[in-house]
Amino acid sequence: MSDASLSSEPAETLVPVTVLTGFLGAGKTTLLNHILTAEHGRKYAVVINEFGELGVDNDLVVDADEEVFEMNNGCICCTVRGDLIRILGSLMKRRNKFDGIIIETTGLADPAPVAQTFFADEDVRAKTRLDAVVTVVDALNILQTLKESPEAHQQIAFADVIILNKTDLVDDAQLKEVEDAIRKINAFAPVHKAQKGNVKLTDVMDVGGFDLQRTLSTMPDFLENTHHHHEEGVNSVSLTIKTPLDAGRFQMWIGALLQEKGADILRTKGILNFEGQPDRFAFQAVHMMADGNDIGPWKDGEERESRLVFIGRNLNRPQLRRGFESCAVA
């Protein structure tokens, strides 16, 4: 699916889905139980994987099989979770039973197929929205895990929110080292420190992290920094343009870019200022699958500019910048 189809479905009527990822033993299930038992008056449907080591304390729990398949569009990175399509479809027949859905993935899972499911399936798209990928990171073991496992890089790269758990088990110097390692991979997701999964619910649930809206509104300077690492592995690039964009040109450029480099570009997110449009446009992509929608007008006093973030491998910053700039109105 290489086209950057720019739809505009109302986000409020869609059921928010939180994807909980993180390496084995990082504390996913502890965090999940913390979320479920907190006093929030909200009901969640929980989709867990069959290898979950701890019990989950909730009425509506569904076992998933993590069955990944490739879409028949000739693109090997367009993998989706078929079991989730079935499970979400069935859960949506009981829409009145819950306020949101939480999906826990296995520790070794690549988050891409889960995220891509929300782009690729028309029924899932029609009724749910991916609120955020929340990645739980174990402060004690992550540096070692990053050396051994490419999946751990993927999970951090995909995160909209990072929960840095078990911070009580490391000293300040170690914590700093861990935070730097996370930032090298994903410069943009907010990092919340926690012990035994004791996070504020507002940090993980209904954060709208996937469309950047709240992330950007709470951190106006967040994307201004330029992180540039001349090294192997996953890193981040952010770009800003003050001139309004031509929507058609942007679509052409990003479509071609994701088609060509989509295997390396894990996540793309942006808030865009299209020429002649009163609303901000939120753009997002997972590998080659892209989506976008209007997210309301610019606020008074807010600078109208287009900001775009890439997280991936082999990102060529000058090339990306030139491409993005070529989308500006002449």
Partner 1 sequence: MSIPTELRGLIEKRGASRTVEGHITACAASRDNMRFAFTTAEGDVIVAHRADLAEPASWATYAVHDGAALALAPDTDPGGFLTGGDDGRLCRLDMHGEIEELGKTRRWVEHVVSHVDAKAAYIASASGKQVELRDGRGETVLKTLEHPSSVTGIVFDTKGKRIAASHYNGASVWYTQPKSESVRSLEWKGSHTGIAIHPAGEALITSMQDNDLHGWRLSDGHNIRMSGYPTKVKSMSFSRTGKWLATSGADVVVLWPFFGGGPMGKPPAELPGMGGALCTRVAYNPEQEILAAGFADGSVIMIEPESQRVLPVCLNGGSAISALSYSSDGCLLGFGTEEGLIGLVDLSAG
Please choose, from the candidates 83, 10, 46, the residue with its C-alpha nearest in 3D space to the C-alpha of residue 205: 46
Chain centre distance of CA 201: 17
Identity of the residue, 57 or 168, whose beta carbon is nearer to partner 1 in the bound complex = 57
Near partner 1 by CB under 8 A: residue from 86, 192, 227, 317: 86
Dump the DSSP string for 280-328: EEEEEEETTEEEEEEEEEPPTT----EEEEEEEES--HHHHHHHHHTTB
Give, in order, the Cα–Cα distances in Å from 41 to each of 44, 55, 187: 10, 21, 33
Near partner 1 by CB under 8 A: residue from 3, 57, 123, 168: 123
Q: Locate all alpha helices (DSSP H) within the chain, ordered by sequence.
A: 28-37, 82-91, 111-120, 122-127, 142-148, 150-158, 172-185, 201-204, 213-218, 247-261, 317-325
Measured between its terminal Cα atoms, the distance across the chain in Å is: 29
Kindly state whether residue 14 participates in binding partner 1, applying the rule CB under 8 A: no
Provide the minimum distance between the beta carbon of 123 and partner 1 in the complex, in angstroms, as a whole number.
Answer: 7
Kindly state whether residue 5 participates in binding partner 1, applying the rule CB under 8 A: no
Provide the minimum distance between the beta carbon of 52 and partner 1 in the complex, in angstroms, as a whole number.
Answer: 13
Give, in order, the Cα–Cα distances in Å from 277 to each of 213, 272, 285, 296, 302: 17, 10, 21, 10, 15
CB 213 within 8 A of CB 184: no
CA trace torsion 162, 220, 274, 313 (10° rounding): -40
Kindly state whether residue 70 participates in binding partner 1, applying the rule CB under 8 A: yes
- The piece of 2-10, 75-83, 236-244, 299-307 that touches partner 1 (CB under 8 A) is 75-83
Identity of the residue, 81 or 184, whose beta carbon is nearer to partner 1 in the bound complex = 81
Near partner 1 by CB under 8 A: residue from 52, 82, 255, 323: 82
Near partner 1 by CB under 8 A: residue from 8, 73, 225, 316: 73
- The piece of 61-69, 200-208, 229-237, 302-310 that touches partner 1 (CB under 8 A) is 61-69
DSSP H/E element including 132? strand 128-138
Identity of the residue, 51 or 69, whose beta carbon is nearer to partner 1 in the bound complex = 69
Provide the minimum distance between the beta carbon of 73 and partner 1 in the complex, in angstroms, as a whole number.
Answer: 7
> Letter for the amino acid at 324?
F
Total residues contacting partner 1 by CB under 8 A comes to 20
Provide the minimum distance between the beta carbon of 303 and partner 1 in the complex, in angstroms, as a whole number.
Answer: 41
Identity of the residue, 117 or 235, whose beta carbon is nearer to partner 1 in the bound complex = 117
Kindly state whether residue 85 participates in binding partner 1, applying the rule CB under 8 A: yes
Cα Rg, the chain, nearest whole Å: 19
* Half-sphere exposure of residue 159: CA atoms within 13 angstroms, side-chain side: 32
Identity of the residue, 120 or 212, whose beta carbon is nearer to partner 1 in the bound complex = 120
Kindly state whether residue 224 participates in binding partner 1, applying the rule CB under 8 A: no
Near partner 1 by CB under 8 A: residue from 72, 230, 232, 330: 72
Which residues form the interface with partner 1 (CB under 8 A)?
Answer: 62-63, 65, 67, 69-73, 80, 82-83, 85-86, 90, 93-94, 121-123
